[in-house]
Amino acid sequence: MKYPRMFVFCAVCFVATATVGLAQRTLAPTMPNFSVLEAEQVAGQQIFKDHCASCHTLKPGAQTAFGPNLRGVVDRRAGSVPGFPYSDALKNSGLTWTEDNLRAWIADNARMVPNTLMPHVSIADWAEQIYLIAYLKKLSSPQR
Ligand code: HEC
């Protein structure tokens, strides 16, 4: 039996489309429970490693020689980790580490608190600031 050429062409197209569709559905990587917040926290963890971890620890109760422990820093009063020798400038700043204050601090700490002991850092990129703070915040929430 001889099928019209157009019919054969359509049949081939149909089978091809169906096969590709099925393959896509079975092979597509699935991302169960993908969360933007978690992605931000992971990015923030890397930024912390690159820019902050040389001086600051996040381990509960631990202390480094260079900077105060930053675990739970979000919404903490500035200069309040017991035993850390803060500068008078930071101790007397009257600041609380709200997200906005943290953003200003990591963008230009020396401008925010002149005479701080923390060497100048400048995380000027908005996205990086958000990631870093998402990570610090994760470690500030009571359930962690
Ligand atoms: C070279 C060392 C160093 C680096 C790098 C550094 N810090 Fe600091 N940081 C300090 C010191 C020292 C202080 C105490 C400043 C003072 O007493 O004036 C401090 C203080 C702070 C405080 C205030 C904490 C409190 O208890 O009041 C925050 C918040 C902070 N740093 C965040 C960061 C973040 C975020 C980064 C990375 C982007 C960073 N620091 C990088 C040394 C450092």
**Of all residues in the chain, what percent carry a pLDDT higher than 90?**
68
Q: Would you kindly state where each structural domain of the chain is located, as residue ranges?
A: 36-138
**Ligand 1 pocket, mutate which of 91, 118, 125, 129 (most atoms under 8 A from CB):** 118
The first and second tokens of residue 41, run together, are 């926290």
pLDDT in tens, 78-104: 999 999 999 999 999 999 999 999 999
Q: State the pTM of this model.
A: 0.81
**29 band by pLDDT with thresholds 50, 70 and 90:** low
State how far the Cα of 47 lies from the Cα of 100, in Å rounded to an integer: 18
pLDDT at 14: 72
- At 2, give phi and psi (nearest 5°): -110, 120
Q: What atom of ligand 1 comes closest to residue 77's alpha carbon?
A: 27
Q: How far apart are CA 107 and CA 105, in angstroms?
A: 5
Give the CATH architecture of domain 36-138.
Answer: Orthogonal Bundle (1.10)
Q: Is the pLDDT of residue 19 over 80?
A: no
Query: pLDDT averaged over the chain?
Result: 88
Q: DSSP letter at 30?
A: P
Cα of 105 to ligand 1 centre, how many Å? 9
Smallest CA separation from ligand 1 atom 8, residue: 118
| Residue 25, pLDDT above cutoff 70 | no
- The pLDDT value recorded for residue 113 is 97
Q: What pLDDT, on the 0 to 100 scale, is given for residue 144?
A: 46
Report the nearest-CA residue for atom 30 of ligand 1. Answer: 70
